């Protein structure tokens, strides 16, 4: 059966983004309209080395450039027993000492849970929904609430976590996007198995 074609995306060189910034509509690329909407970002595997050394610094870079709204909520999700403050202290040494660093860290919170538990992911969904509802109560432009899930996880738990996200963290008034960190499998066979598992859970639409 032929697969759906992948999304077409349009990007600009980072130097152009840094020069102009998202407020200059002449350099907008497809999708930046989300900046006026409510955005929650969930980093699954937030207590791991990959997340603290790569994922959170990358998110901070986007935040610093204005490509993540300053009102966005960034939720770390992992099995470790951490508080919001614990997660912020873990990632702070890996963020450049720039003026927006503290503001970024204020937007980072933590939810503890297993990667195969719909009940635990339900708590993540509740945290997201609470933020979205609160943002709407404050009079923001929140008719649209978007959600992004970053899987900074071992491939062995991609499928179970994807199923739990799909079952519990749906949003009916915005887009939902998922990003999977490589390596995506360890062989062609395992790659194809992961693709089949993910395709059965999420659709490219």
Summarised one tens digit per residue, pLDDT across range 79-91 is 999 999 999 999 9
Determine the pLDDT at residue 195: 77
Is the confidence at residue 10, as pLDDT, over 60?
no
For the ranges 58-72, 136-150, 176-190, the one whose mean pLDDT is highest: 58-72
Residues facing residue 76 across a β-bridge: 43, 110
Mean pLDDT (the chain) is: 80
Order of strands, edge to edge, in the sheet holding 108-112?
108-112, 73-78, 38-44, 145-151, 176-180
Whether residue 140 contacts residue 39, with contact meaning beta carbons closer than 8 Å, is answered with: no
Is the confidence at residue 9, as pLDDT, over 70?
no
Is the confidence at residue 13, as pLDDT, over 70?
no
Determine the pLDDT at residue 171: 80
Q: What percent of the chain has pLDDT over 70?
A: 78
Q: Which three-class secondary structure string do you get for the chain?
A: CCCCCCCCCCCCCHHHHHHHCCCCHHHCCCCHHHHHCEEEEEEECCCCHHHHHHHHHHHHHHHHHCCCCCCCEEEEEECCCCCHHHHHHHHHHHCCCCCCHHHHHHCEEEEECCCCCHHHHHHHHHHHHHHHHHHHHCCCCCCCEEEEEEECCCHHHHHHHHHHHHHHCCCCCCCEEEEECCCCCCCHHHHHHHHHHHHCCCCCC
Tokens of 198: 């993910």
Q: What is the mean pLDDT of residues 49-65?
A: 95
Determine the pLDDT at residue 15: 36
Is the confidence at residue 143, as pLDDT, over 80?
no
Determine the pLDDT at residue 130: 92
Residues facing residue 148 across a β-bridge: 41, 177
- Phi and psi torsions of 163, nearest 5°: -65, -40
Pick from 23-37, 50-64, 184-198: least confident: 23-37
Pick from 3-17, 132-146, 175-189: least confident: 3-17
């Amino acid at each position: 059966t032929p697969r759906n074609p992948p999304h077409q995306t349009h990007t600009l060189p980072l130097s152009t983004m840094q020069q102009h910034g998202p407020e200059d509509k002449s350099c907008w690329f497809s999708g930046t309209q989300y900046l006026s909407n409510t955005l929650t970002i969930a980093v699954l595997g937030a207590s791991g080395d990959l997340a603290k050394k790569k994922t959170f610094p990358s998110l901070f870079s986007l935040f610093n450039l204005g490509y993540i709204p300053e009102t966005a909520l960034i939720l770390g999700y992992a099995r470790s027993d951490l508080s919001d403050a614990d997660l912020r202290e873990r990632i702070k040494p890996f963020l450049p000492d720039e003026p927006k660093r503290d503001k970024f860290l204020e937007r980072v919170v933590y939810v503890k849970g297993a990667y195969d538990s719909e009940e635990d992911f339900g708590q993540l969904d509740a945290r997201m929904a609470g933020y979205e509802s609160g943002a709407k109560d404050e009079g923001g432009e929140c008719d649209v609430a978007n959600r992004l899930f970053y899987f900074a996880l071992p491939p062995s738990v991609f499928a179970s976590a994807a199923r739990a996200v799909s079952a519990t963290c749906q949003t009916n008034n915005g887009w939902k996007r998922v990003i999977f960190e490589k390596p995506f499998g360890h062989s062609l066979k395992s790659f194809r198995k992961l693709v089949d598992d993910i395709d059965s859970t999420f659709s490219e639409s």
